[in-house]
Structure 1
Amino acid sequence: MKRIVFILGFLFFYQGLFAQGFFNRERIINLENFDKKRWSWGYYLGMNFYDFQFQYELNRDEIESERNMGFNIGLIGNLRLNDYIDLRLEPGIVFANRNLNFPGFDERRFSFREVEANYIHVPLLLKFSTKRLNNFKPFVVGGVAVAHNLSSNEDNPSDNSAGQFRMKDWSTFLEVGFGIDFYLDYFKFSPSIRGVFGMTDEIVPDNNPNSPWTGNISRMETRGVFLNLTFQ
C-alpha cells in the first residue's frame, strides 16, 4: 500500500512539473469556461483499501488486520466559491472488506472474522486548486464525512461467541487528498488519491466484558485509502 501511494504521489508531482515546463507553450485550451460555472455536476468511480486501527486496554498480542480491495461509486455536486476554492458534496456507496485474525485461538473458526462494510458515504469537502496550466490543474482536497454502515450488525443480539462481529451503524471520517484536473475535449477528468481517517469508535463490544475477541479493545477506528476517477 505504501508503495502504491508513493508511486501515485510521484506521478502527480512529476506531472505538475512537466505541465509547468512543456505545457507552458501555447496550446489549444479545452473547456475554457468550464470552471466559471457556479454549479457543476459529475460522478466518480474508484477503489479503496480499508483497514482498522486498534487501541488496547492491556499490552497483549495484537489483532491482525488484513486489507482487501473494495470499490466506490458516487455523485458530485460542486459549488464554485472563487477561482481557487470549491465546495463539494460527494454522496456515494463504498464497498469495503477486511479480515481480522484474533490471537489466542487454535482453530480458525474462532480466530478469523471477515468484516464486510457497505457504507453510504457522504463527504463535504473543500477543494483548493492552483492556477490552471493549459489543460491541467493540480489540487488538494479536504473535509469531513458521515457514513452509515449497512452491514454493521449493531442491533444483532448475537456476538463473536456466535460468529458475529458487530460494528456501529454511524461513523464520521476526516478526508484529505490530492489530484489533477485534466481538461479534455468534452469533459473534465480528475484522478485523485485520498486518505480516510475514522474519528468514531466503531466497535460494538461483545456481551461478555471479558470476551477474548473484544475485551481488550478500547477503541477501533477505520483507516483507508481511496483511488478515485472523477468525470465532470
Structure 2
Amino acid sequence: MQNAHIRHLFGLQRIALVVGLLLTLSVKTSAQQNLNMLEHDAKPYYFGITLATNQSFYKLSHSKRFLATDSINVAEPLKTFGFNLGLLANARLSEHFDLRINPQLVFASKNLYYSETYGETPTTTKNIESILVSFPLQVKFKSDRIGNLRVYTIAGLKYDFDLASNARAKRAEELVKVKSGDYGFELGAGFEFYFESFIFSPEFKISNGLGNVHAPDKNLRYSNVIDQLHSRMLVFSIHLEG
C-alpha cells in the first residue's frame, strides 16, 4: 500500500509540473502573442466538457463496538483513483464573477482495510465501488486577463447520488453498506489558457461530503466497528470551453 501511495504522489507531481510549465510559457510569451477570443469575455454564457481524474477515500470514525471487540484490531480507509466525465455551463455575472454548473458522472472506489486477530485471512479489503451522479453549483472568481492567461478560484455546493449504493441490498454478507445520497462543498483553483478557438482549463479542487453515508447494519461485523463515513475527494480536471 505504501508503494502505491508513493506512485500516486509522483503522478500528482507530474501533473503539477506540466501545469507549471504551461503557466510559465504562457506568461513569458503573453507580450508577444495576439489576444485570442476577445469576444468570449463578453459572452453572457458558454458551455464546455470536463475530463478529470480523482483520488477518493472515506474519512472514518470508529464506533464504540470497535473498542469492545477483539477480533478486528484495524479498520481504516484506503485512497484509490478514479475518473470523471462531465458537462459545463457557465453564466457571466460580472467582470470577475461567474455562476457555473458542472454535472458529472464520477467513477470512484472508496475501499476499507481491515486487520483481524483471528481467522484464516488476517487482512481484508472491502471494495466499495461508487458510480456518482454529481451536481455541483459553483461561484467562480476570475482575475484580470494576462495576455492569453487568466487565473480563477471556485467555491460551491454539490449533491451526489450513488447509482451503485448497496444500502438496500438483501444479500450483504460481511459488507459495509453506504447510502445513495450525499451533499457537500467544493473549493478549487485553476488556469484558463486562451487558444484561437477554445479555452483549455486545468483545475485542482477538493470535493468533500458533509453527510454520513454509512448505513449501519448490526448483522454485519465489518459495519459494526464503523460509526460514520464521510466522503473525501481530490480532483484534477481538464475543462475544454468554447
Instruction: Give the TM-score taking structure 1 as reference length.
Output: 0.87
- Map 1:36-47 onto structure 2 (within 5 A): 36-47=42-53
Displacement of 1:65 in angstroms is 2.3
User: After alignment, is 103-112 or 7-16 more displaced?
Assistant: 7-16
Question: Pick from 54, 58, 69: which aligns with 1:48?
Answer: 54
Displacement of 1:15 in angstroms is 6.1
Q: In structure 2, how many angstroms separate the alpha carbons of the residues matched to 1:109 and 1:171?
A: 32
Name the SS for the 2:170 alignment partner: coil
Displacement of 1:112 in angstroms is 2.6
Native 8 Å contact 2:154 2:188 kept in 1: yes
- Map 1:109-120 onto structure 2 (within 5 A): 111-120=124-133
1:213 counterpart residue number: 222
Q: In structure 2, how many angstroms separate the alpha carbons of the residues matched to 1:187 and 1:148?
A: 31
Q: In structure 2, how many angstroms separate the alpha carbons of the residues matched to 1:74 and 1:174?
A: 18
Displacement of 1:78 in angstroms is 0.4
Question: Pick from 171, 177, 193: which aligns with 1:166?
Answer: 177
Question: Pick from 53, 73, 77: which aligns with 1:65?
Answer: 77
Instruction: Give the TM-score taking structure 2 as reference length.
Output: 0.84
Distance 1:63 1:220, change over 3 A: same
Q: Alignment length, in residue pairs?
A: 227
1:143 counterpart residue number: 156
Displacement of 1:87 in angstroms is 0.6
- Map 1:15-164 onto structure 2 (within 5 A): 22-23=28-29, 25-58=31-64, 60=67, 61-104=73-116, 106-108=119-121, 111-159=124-172, 162-164=173-175
Q: Return 5+ residue gaps in structure 1 as ranges.
A: none
User: After alignment, is 38-47 or 103-112 more displaced?
Assistant: 103-112
The one-letter code of the counterpart of 1:118 is I
Counterpart check, 1:191 vs 2:197: no
Q: In structure 1, how many angstroms separate the alpha carbons of the residues matched to 2:185 and 2:14?
A: 23
Q: Return 5+ residue gaps in structure 2 as ranges.
A: 1-7, 68-72
Displacement of 1:11 in angstroms is 6.5
2:70 counterpart residue number: none
Native 8 Å contact 2:142 2:151 kept in 1: yes
Native 8 Å contact 1:16 1:138 kept in 2: no
Distance 1:157 1:108, change over 3 A: same
Question: Pick from 178, 186, 192: which aligns with 1:175?
Answer: 186
Question: Pick from 219, 234, 240: which aligns with 1:231?
Answer: 240
Q: In structure 2, how many angstroms separate the alpha carbons of the residues matched to 1:205 and 1:12?
A: 42
Native 8 Å contact 1:206 1:215 kept in 2: yes
Displacement of 1:69 in angstroms is 1.6
Distance 1:90 1:135, change over 3 A: same
- CA RMSD in angstroms comes to 2.4
**Identity value in percent:** 23
